[in-house]
Structure 1
Amino acid sequence: MKKISFPLVVILLICIIITLIGYNTLTIRKESQKYQELQQKYQNQPLDETTHSNANTPTIYCIGDSLTIGAKSSSYPTALSSATNFSVNKFGGAQDQTQDIAIRMGKIKIYTNNITIPETVTPVNLKIYDKDNNVLNVLKGKGSNFTTVEIAGISGKLKYNATKKTHTFTRDQNGVEKVITKLTQIKSEIPTFEKNNVAIIFTGTYDPQTQNGIFKTITYQRAIINQLKTKNYIVVSLTSKRRLPIVDDMNKVLKEEHKEHFLDFRDYLLNDGIKDAKITLTAQDKKDLQKGYIPSSFLQADMLNGNAKFNQLLAEQITKKMIDLKYINKNDIK
């Protein structure tokens, strides 16, 4: 058997690398096109007037993950409620991805299949699918809904076991066994949204950290905006470089997508937040700033969620942005 010469091995390796790069580029391009098509769909979808109530009370909807839901005493919606005359509602879930929130809002329907719900109140493992029978990695944290659900007319609780990495459904009371052999929708109470109010969307921190992830974030943000049926919205920037190393590039894409609706809170914190909060930089804060990190003095112990100072400043910046966009006026400020 003849030995392969070193130059030939090098050429072969180069060919393999080029092939892999080409495949990866093609995959990214296809994924990008897929999400761009979905964005176009959500942008152009006609209004569905049945998704709204007719209440006259002005409302600000704060929609997001744990950075929005937070503790009652330490969340930007609480600070926003204290600063304005508007009613402020929080909606979302702990560690929710943007896709999760689109599901909670009823814009994306979810299903299960190939399970048997026993006649007793015994948990049954299940997978969650979309309408095209693709398995979804969603609804892992506690949120505004989809804890109490209904499957095939049977009400019960949907839970996620982080250790086993699976969902379970437990019916509320004993009944007739139900065998499910086709896609069956998992239903929950879906909120109604009043028309022409203000939505604050703060999502993406927990979205998949893939090369094409920002397109997915934007796609489901568009789905959320479409479901709200309002032109009065603000999208808050991503903030954490500790979690998202390319956060600045991601924010550039978000700004390009949402234009005047985009609030670059990360840039504000890095440049003016310290001064406005009237805090003295610690040694750690200085190290954080050198790395492009949000200063520790603005964060909770997990170095991700904001503390009271962070949330107060965010509420102030959102209020200023709402006035600039003429969603509210200065008379709405307490």
Structure 2
Amino acid sequence: MRTRTLGSTGPAVSALGLGAMGMSDAYGPTDRAESIATVHAALEAGVTLIDTGDFYAMGHNELLLAEALRGRDRDSYQLSVKFGALRGPGHIFSGTDGRPEAVKNFLAYSLTRLGTDHIDIYRPARLDPAVPIEETVGAIKEMVDAGYVRHIGLSEVDAATVRRAHAVHPIADLQIEYSLISRAVEAEVLPTLRELGIGLTAYGVLGRGLISGHWSAGRNGAPGDSRGFGPRFSPGNVEHNLGLVEALRRVAGSKGCTVAQLVIAWVAAQGEDIVPLAGARTRERLAEALPAMRLNLTPDDLAEIEKAVPQGAARGDRYPAAFMSGLGVGN
């Protein structure tokens, strides 16, 4: 596994990261043993960056990772943790808390659940509209100075917010959705990151499975699978979007790879400062994702991919309407 450095001040991490959310939350029933085996397989393959959130199934994901990572050399992997999302009974989202006192409270709980003395990259999951980003980042900076956090990251904010945060303390990376069907980051945010020397960790590179090559129209989501509420998966939109996947399948066939490998490789090819996160829940899906980092896309390949899925080609927003207002950029 090759490595990439997150910005000018961030850590060197594996060129492909592991997104752990789906092992606990959002996509339906999970298998604890298989999840732990998938984390182990990722580490054995050279994946070092593992991304989670303290609100993923109300701390379940952090406890799961603590179990999977027990006994491992702490310097052999990096933990990226998001905080601030508020959820009530029934796991219903109810806002964001970025107050300085809340930052330290969230961090204390994460350190305990993860069984570690530090977080490698700590980031607010969303911008709290009631709290200036300078105050939130300032509180994390105090935790950096105290040794509990190594680097500060951001998630789903706009270019102006990135600049304000970076003025308080160097930002290692911005985590934001970036895929062939979610490219709003390219207009202003990505150029700003590059100007300031900030990396990008890309989640949703498979469009939550929509452009993985494994989704089908009419597929019924399992209980607890939030994709059933996703506009891009809704009737009318999903058929159009899967038509884009079929165009990608032809390109993938010419490269001798799967659709999932092609779209992960496309994200990785957008710059050495970008680290895709593979949200694999099983060893099978992880095994499919890993070879993407060895796939060499030529300029002709990239042109064919662009032709198959032009920017803005997908139908539907990337989140339900209630969540779109909390995003720094649109689709």
TM-score (norm 1): 0.29
Q: Which has the larger radius of gyration?
A: 1
TM-score (norm 2): 0.29
